[in-house]
Amino acid sequence: MQHTQMLSNQRLSDLPASVIKPGYARQSLKTGIVHVGVGGFHRAHQAVYTDAYMSATGDTRWGVCGVGLRENDRKMQQLLAEQDFLYTVLERKADGSASAQVIGCMTDFLLGCDDPGAVIRKMADPDTHIVSLTITEGGYNFNPSTGEFDFNNPDVQHDLANPDAPRLVFGYLARALKQRRDSGLPPFTVQSCDNIQHNGDVTRNMLLAYIRAADPDLATWVASEVAFPNAMVDRITPATTSTDIHAVQTMTGLTDQWPVTCESFHQWVIEDTFSSDRPQWEKCGVQFVADVTPYETMKIRLLNASHTVLGVLGSLAGYRTIDEAVSDPVFTDTLRVFMDSEVTPVLAPVKGIDLGVYKQTLLQRFANPNIKDSLTRICSESSSKVATFLVPTIRENVKQDGAFEISALVVAAWCYYSATHTSQSGEALEVIDALKDQLQQAGRQSGQQPLAFLHQADIFADLAQQPDFTRLFETFVSALFAGEPVSRLMQQASVPAGT
Ligand code: CS2
């Protein structure tokens, strides 16, 4: 790589005019938001909205202090610190063009594992109004079968014994909220930005469960004073590759060690319940609503479930990325029938959204050849994705005598994928899942007794007891293990209802 200067405050003025820069003076930033979990998604979503808001209004109270809690966040912290916490968002459009924007709203990045007290002080600072989170589903520490806070986690036991040096986010939030209450400050809002249904309610339930055990006296204040807005978040953000790093260098003339790539589309729908002040994100495209439920159900059951459909079937067929899979007409047809005949009939209408247009846009987003969204990322943690994105749709269809052919094929294909860790032509697949071993064992048993896979009730609830579903599932599992090509089964399953 040719030697170029590193992105930094000093170099901002060297950026070409084609690169969008912060429209505010970074020296005037205050830190109004502390964000835990500075991955690509936060940097391409909440941070971009916040940067746009501050650029448009000059209200610079909303700088973001990034926080990583664990040792494996150190690398990101170091990379960003070396470039004054600036980074580039590379927006890759479907027509092949791309634009670069330098985001300036990050003011600092603290590592909890180095100095937990510094993180707690930052959260308790009077300038902080929001503590936001992208900690992935696993970070919420609930037991997937019961939905209850998992007190058996050794880190929870550690945090209860060491409240000033916690390991998990709940310990930090509890300590910082206590400090605020004791010094007469209003609480911050706890804002989840994870792709989880009712993400605010989940955060509230988990935090209150922890605080009731850690500090019962604080629990009443938190329950009555702290807001946890629910939100639907959306922007496809594949993992950053060295190609992205090179592209950013060419476009900006500077080296960014950790840019983030994303599509142009973005959406954020938030319930307007905040503990105190918040950025007026509505000025830069955020939608505030009274109830986010229909938006999140639509997104999870159409976008995320379709990703799972493409990810699992595509992996068996030997595809590597989402755009590759949808370039195959068999996949596009299957996806259309899945969305139209299996998901839409059991989806409540969403005010202000034309579902036909929404689905068409999804197909275009998936087809973007510049977003190389890997099927490995899409299939990672499928055990929680299938349970929340797909199983509810199947169960409703079973109840209402609706269609579920493609869903059954996807579950059968996932069984094959879990058992073999290979595509149908034998190429190895990287399987990333907390339940990888359980899935593999159940998948292997299904080679002889197909229903074994469905007996994982933590994922499939009562589907193993639904004969209409199990019949189809068994047929597909047997066909796949007998070597029938997945694309032929997709064509069989994709005959739209009524034809
Ligand atoms: C994907 C999501 O891996 C997955 O589950 O469907 O990461 C998806 O890209 C985002 O939810 C888009 O907003």
Query: Does the ipTM exceed 0.85?
Result: yes
Tell me the CA–centroid distance for residue 138 and ligand 1, in Å. Answer: 15
Please tell me the predicted confidence (pLDDT) of residue 495: 79
Tell me the CA–centroid distance for residue 231 and ligand 1, in Å. Answer: 15
Please tell me the predicted confidence (pLDDT) of residue 485: 98
With a 6 A CB cut-off, is 304 part of the ligand 1 pocket? yes
Q: What atom in ligand 1 is closest to the CA of residue 385?
A: 5
With a 6 A CB cut-off, is 486 part of the ligand 1 pocket? no
- Predicted confidence (pLDDT) at residue 1 exceeds the cutoff of 60: no
Q: What atom in ligand 1 is closest to the CA of residue 373?
A: 9
With a 6 A CB cut-off, is 324 part of the ligand 1 pocket? no
**Lowest mean pLDDT, pick from 17-26, 391-400, 490-499:** 490-499
With a 6 A CB cut-off, is 235 part of the ligand 1 pocket? yes
pLDDT per residue as tens digits for the range 344-365: 999 999 989 999 999 999 999 9
Please tell me the predicted confidence (pLDDT) of residue 102: 98
pLDDT per residue as tens digits for the range 107-137: 999 999 999 999 999 999 999 999 999 999 9
pLDDT per residue as tens digits for the range 188-223: 999 999 999 999 999 999 999 999 999 999 999 999
pLDDT per residue as tens digits for the range 404-462: 999 999 999 999 999 999 999 999 999 999 999 999 999 999 988 999 999 999 999 99
Share of the chain above pLDDT 90, in %: 96
Residues in CB range of 490: below 8 A, 6 or more apart: 313, 330, 331, 333, 334, 406, 409
- Predicted confidence (pLDDT) at residue 296 exceeds the cutoff of 80: yes
Using alpha carbons only, how large is the chain's radius of gyration in Å?
Answer: 23
The average confidence (pLDDT) of the chain is 96
Share of the chain above pLDDT 70, in %: 99
Spatial separation of the C-alpha atoms in residues 17 and 481, rounded to whole Å: 57
- Predicted confidence (pLDDT) at residue 490 exceeds the cutoff of 90: yes
With a 6 A CB cut-off, is 307 part of the ligand 1 pocket? yes
- Predicted confidence (pLDDT) at residue 2 exceeds the cutoff of 80: no
- In a 3-state reduction of DSSP, which class is residue 30? coil
Please tell me the predicted confidence (pLDDT) of residue 496: 61
Q: What atom in ligand 1 is closest to the CA of residue 304?
A: 6
With a 6 A CB cut-off, is 368 part of the ligand 1 pocket? no
Please tell me the predicted confidence (pLDDT) of residue 130: 98
Site to substitute for ligand 1 among 307, 335, 362, 433, most atoms within 8 A of C-beta: 307
Tell me the CA–centroid distance for residue 233 and ligand 1, in Å. Answer: 10
Q: Which residue has the tokens 């019961």?
A: 146
With a 6 A CB cut-off, is 234 part of the ligand 1 pocket? yes
DSSP single-letter state for residue 340: I
Q: Which of 18, 408, 325 is nearest to 416 (CA)?
A: 408
- Mind spelling out the 3-state secondary structure of 262-294? ECCCCEEEEECCCCCCCCCHHHHCCEEECCCHH
Backbone angles phi, psi at 173, to 5 degrees: -65, -45
For the chain, the straight-line distance linking the first and the last C-alpha, in angstroms and rounded, comes to 57
With a 6 A CB cut-off, is 195 part of the ligand 1 pocket? yes
pLDDT per residue as tens digits for the range 219-274: 999 999 999 999 999 999 999 999 999 999 999 999 999 999 999 999 999 999 99
Tell me the CA–centroid distance for residue 12 and ligand 1, in Å. Answer: 32
Spatial separation of the C-alpha atoms in residues 47 and 499, rounded to whole Å: 47
Tell me the CA–centroid distance for residue 483 and ligand 1, in Å. Answer: 30
Q: Whose CA is nearest to atom 10 of ligand 1?
A: 236
- Predicted confidence (pLDDT) at residue 303 exceeds the cutoff of 80: yes
Q: What is the mean pLDDT of residues 156-175?
A: 98
User: pLDDT-based confidence at 497, cuts 50/70/90?
Assistant: low
With a 6 A CB cut-off, is 194 part of the ligand 1 pocket? no
With a 6 A CB cut-off, is 378 part of the ligand 1 pocket? yes
- Predicted confidence (pLDDT) at residue 498 exceeds the cutoff of 70: no
